[in-house]
Amino acid sequence: MKYISIVVPVYNEQENVALFYREICKHMETTGYLFELIFVDDGSRDDTARILKKLSQQDARVRTIILARNFGHQIALTCGLDHAGGDAVITMDGDMQHPPAMLPYLIKQWENGFEIVQTIRKDTQGVSWFKAFTSRLFYKTINAISNINIDEGGSDFRLLDRKAVDTFKNFKEKARFIRGIISAMGYKRIQIEFVAPERFAGKSKFSVRKMLNFALDGITAYSRLPLRLAFYMGLLSGLLSLLLTIDVVYTKWFTTEAVPGWATIAASVLLLGGLQLMGLGIIGEYIGRIFEEVKKRPLYWVQDELKSSVGVKAKTQDTVA
């Protein structure tokens, strides 16, 4: 009998996990599928891990993987996908912004033969204009300068068929932008729209710095345009300086008003210096990323794991028998 894994990365979500767990059980039970709920605790410093341990002890369907420290949402999600055994795997946030009530609809589409069921956030309630604006700007930029197409409002709330999960596991990059990977993977896919409610409790774990890193990971992973931009800017400033030289020569030879010219020199030195530094910065950004990747360090390491998928398998056999 087929079963479904639900993967949830959580970081300091002590007020949310118990309600989230109840909601998942409620909605999954209506689908008739067996399921395992895998929480990946991303190095929480509050009571999250303790609550999750208790849930795992009470309910054989709940598995908890505790990471040794905070690795970030994308890595925690990857860890969950690595450990999930289901015929389909659903990934979602644990703060109720990805409504558990949507699960039956995702699963319906999977039954209809779709291998990736992607949700699209139409709107987020209570989000700041700053976050909404930067998010739109990011998607517009990445789609304009890369050769993949990521839907604006695309979230990491999606269902993946086993085939897609196995393909995903072959993507080994450290700086990972999962939306990009999934979008480049192909497979039969469908989109479902939803409105994300406000988080049930707690604050968003994405600081401006984390968001900026995430955006840079996405752009540098899927576009080499910034590198080329440095080249084009060099070309442009070369052309400009040629024009300037012609002008200087003309003024000297054919007019009597040869200027001292220090301003022109100062300005062009500044311009060129600035462009070179910018070019170096862009190259440095990519080299830094190459350095991170070639070290081939593990993506994450686990401190503790509670319950194996035996719970689901034992139950599966009971049901079959």
As measured in angstroms, the least distance from the Cβ of 35 to Mg ion is 22
206 binds ligand UDP (CB under 6 A): yes
Report residue 317 as tokens.
């056999």
The item of Mg ion, ligand UDP, none sharing an interface with residue 100, based on CB under 5 to 8 Å by kind, is none
Tell me whether strands 116-124 and 154-161 are parallel, antiparallel or unpaired: antiparallel
3-class secondary-structure state, position 153? coil
Q: Which of 4, 6, 7, 9 binds ligand UDP (CB under 6 A)?
A: 9
As measured in angstroms, the least distance from the Cβ of 224 to ligand UDP is 27
Q: Which stretch binds ligand UDP (CB under 6 A): 103-111, 141-149, 174-182, 200-208?
A: 200-208
- Of 77-116, binders to Mg ion (CB under 5 A) are 93, 95, 97
Q: Which stretch binds ligand UDP (CB under 6 A): 3-11, 49-57, 102-110, 173-181?
A: 3-11
Q: Quick one: angle between helices 103-111 and 17-29, nearest 10?
A: 40
Number of residues that bind ligand UDP (CB under 6 A): 17
As measured in angstroms, the least distance from the Cβ of 24 to ligand UDP is 13
Tell which residue, 50, 54, 60, 41, has the closest CA to residue 311: 60
Q: Which of 19, 23, 27, 70 binds ligand UDP (CB under 6 A)?
A: 70
The item of Mg ion, ligand UDP, none sharing an interface with residue 72, based on CB under 5 to 8 Å by kind, is ligand UDP
Helical H segments across the chain, by residue range = 17-29, 48-58, 73-83, 103-111, 129-145, 162-169, 178-185, 208-222, 225-254, 262-294, 310-320
- Of 71-130, binders to ligand UDP (CB under 6 A) are 72-73, 76, 93-95, 97
41: which strand partners?
A: 10, 66
- Nearby residues of 124 by Cβ (< 8 Å), 6 or more positions away: 97, 131, 132, 195, 196
As measured in angstroms, the least distance from the Cβ of 309 to ligand UDP is 21
317 binds ligand UDP (CB under 6 A): no
Q: Which of 205, 300, 309, 312 binds ligand UDP (CB under 6 A)?
A: 205
Tell which residue, 193, 93, 110, has the closest CA to residue 159: 110
Tell which residue, 53, 82, 84, has the closest CA to residue 66: 53
As measured in angstroms, the least distance from the Cβ of 8 to ligand UDP is 6
Tell which residue, 59, 89, 62, has the closest CA to residue 77: 89
Q: How far is CA 206 from CA 46, 70, 190, 213, 282, in A?
A: 17, 13, 28, 10, 25
The nearer residue to ligand UDP, 9 or 86, going by C-beta atoms, is 9
Q: Which of 10, 106, 107, 150 binds ligand UDP (CB under 6 A)?
A: 10
213 binds ligand UDP (CB under 6 A): no
**Cα 70–72–77 angle (5° rounding)?**
110
As measured in angstroms, the least distance from the Cβ of 95 to ligand UDP is 5
Q: Backbone phi, then psi, for 114, in 5-degree steps?
A: -80, 140
Residues that bind ligand UDP (CB under 6 A): 9-11, 13, 42, 70, 72-73, 76, 93-95, 97, 199, 204-206
Residues that bind Mg ion (CB under 5 A): 93, 95, 97
